[in-house]
Amino acid sequence: MISHEQITKSIKEASIEKPRVTIRAFRAVDDYDASMRFVEGHKRVLTAHGVKKVSSSSPDWIINPHAFVINVEDSETGKVYGGARVHRYHKDYLLPIQEATGPMDDLIHEVVRREHEKGGTSELCGLWNSFEVAGLGIGSFFATRAGIAVAYQLGIKSMFALCAPYTVKWAQRVGCTVVEELGNKGTFFYPKLDLIATAVLLEDVNTLEDAKPTERNRVFDFYKNLNQTALEIPPGKRYQVAINYKLDITNS
């Protein structure tokens, strides 16, 4: 097993690498073109999997001042390989998880309001990656870490997510727990009847109390340094990927 010390050493040595990928965060309304590249890439991936529409794929979020995009981009061309979004809860804008599960269980609205009153809440949504980086973890797991750093930067305490079965374990790895009071012990048939989604919650981005120690340490490093270049080791892999992180949102 690769230790945290080895990961830290790789991060310090990363300056000698030329990153192929940049993971960049920005407020959606501040970069329309990059937001649309996210929309088109996400749409292609959903279509390839036979999913015509999910609540988080609607382009309406582009005009939401509380939506923040995390694009996984080619460092030279700007082509978007994947990404995610963080939606900050606001009374005038439902979170995508509310739009998705509300018709099946209106308790979601009470649960979201409860978490908001504890110190602000949000949702990590729209998580996707293209086939070019499939298996590297670049468009999914690393974007999840980046999303937590964005929430912390925005002063948000908690974060919801609606996970496909294969992403639940990654959410739990960074400290999320299943919200069993919703749906059928946290699960819903979504976005279509033959697919299952699980509602999870990261209760405190400040402490990441339930996260694996290696994940907690890595995310805490982002809290101290939002912009950095790192040699990352995808979960379950033995190779390294050079990534340039630009997570500092100047206009939030």
Q: Look up residue 81 and give its two tokens.
A: 């390989």
Q: Which of 122, 138, 145 is nearest to 252 (CA)?
A: 122
**Three-state secondary-structure class, residue 229:** strand
pLDDT in tens, 178-212: 999 999 999 999 887 788 999 999 999 999 999 99
> Residue 251: inside a domain, yes or no?
no
In a domain, 252, yes or no: no
Domain that holds residue 67: 4-246
Q: What is the DSSP string of 73-113?
A: EETTT--EEEEEEEEE-BTTB--HHHHHHTTT-THHHHHHH
Counting every residue written for the chain, the total comes to 252
Q: Is the pLDDT of residue 15 over 50?
A: no
Per-residue pLDDT at 237? 74
Domain count, the chain: 1
Q: At what angle do helices 213-224 and 4-13 cross, to 10 degrees?
A: 30
Give the CATH number of the domain where residue 154 resides: 3.40.630.30
Decide if pLDDT at 166 tops 60.
Answer: yes
The overall average pLDDT reported for the chain is 87
pLDDT in tens, 109-160: 999 999 999 999 999 999 988 877 766 657 678 999 999 999 999 999 999 9
The two tokens of residue 34 are 């990059």
* 221 vs 134, residue with greater confidence: 221
Q: What pTM does this model have?
A: 0.88
Q: Average the pLDDT over each of 56-70, 168-182, 196-210 and give the range with the smallest value.
A: 56-70
Give Rg (Cα) of the chain. Answer: 17
pLDDT surpasses 90 at 242: no
Q: Tell me which H or E stretch contains 11.
A: helix 4-13
